[in-house]
Amino acid sequence: MFEEFTPISLKLSNNQIVAEHLKVEYAINIDDIKEIKIITQLPRTQKRMGTGMDKLEKGSFSVDGYGDCDLCLNPQNKTFIVVTTASNTYFLSDEDNAVTQKVYEEVEKSNIIYH
């Protein structure tokens, strides 16, 4: 239960999107990003391996419309970042919707040229 009540943190640091929850869960190099978008409604998810609680989804999930993805988010949030690389798709959020939006905007402002 302790895990569910520990906040998720999302930030842009050292040219990476970093998702933390108790430790660094994902550090995605922005150079590896093929596509990034923000969504305001989480598609239906089904846990494959990891944690699936009311306030925490973390690990490998099947996501409607996306297939197998890695998640580190609070499903009760209203803002999520979807990051696609050559090898994976990630759904991420900070505990605070405004921070999630800010991280997305910072990555967009970085003038990333998607490969």
Element containing residue 30 per DSSP (H, E): none
Give residue 9's Cα distance to chain centre.
10
* Cα–chain center distance at 90: 5
Query: What confidence tens digit (pLDDT) does each residue in 14-52 have?
Result: 899 999 998 889 999 999 999 999 999 999 999 999 888
SS3 content of the chain, % helix, strand, coil (to 5): 15, 50, 35
Q: Which residues of 52-69 are buried (b: 16+ CB within 10 A; e: fewer)?
A: beebbbbeebebeeeeeb
> What are 61-75's pLDDT values in tens digits?
999 999 999 999 999
List residues bridging with 83 in a β-sheet. 36, 90
Instruction: Tell me the average pLDDT of the chain.
Output: 90
